[in-house]
Amino acid sequence: MRNSRPEAGLRSGNPKYGAGVCDFCGEPRPLLWRCRRCGFSVCQVCLSQDQKRFSCNAITWVCPNCLNWETL
């Protein structure tokens, strides 16, 4: 049941962003970034407020849970 379309929707597969609850602030958000390695989710608010922690530079961010680099 693998969906090979790259734009297959936010709820299928393991997208790098989607709606859900931010693992950092616990707030439900319409858009959050997701680590594809461990599933850690962080919203844009946390990402922009804590850019040093996430090493966020508008291109990439680092998952604080598993130190996996993800692109925005």
Site residues for Zn ion per CB under 5 A: 22, 24-25, 35, 37-38, 40, 43, 46, 63, 65-66, 68
CA distances (Å), 41 to each of 11, 12, 13, 44, 45, in order? 14, 16, 15, 10, 12
For Zn ion, which is the closer residue by CB, 10 or 25?
25
Distance CA 19, CA 40 (A): 13
Minimal distance, residue 16 CB to Zn ion, in Å: 11
For Zn ion, which is the closer residue by CB, 1 or 28?
28
For Zn ion, which is the closer residue by CB, 10 or 68?
68
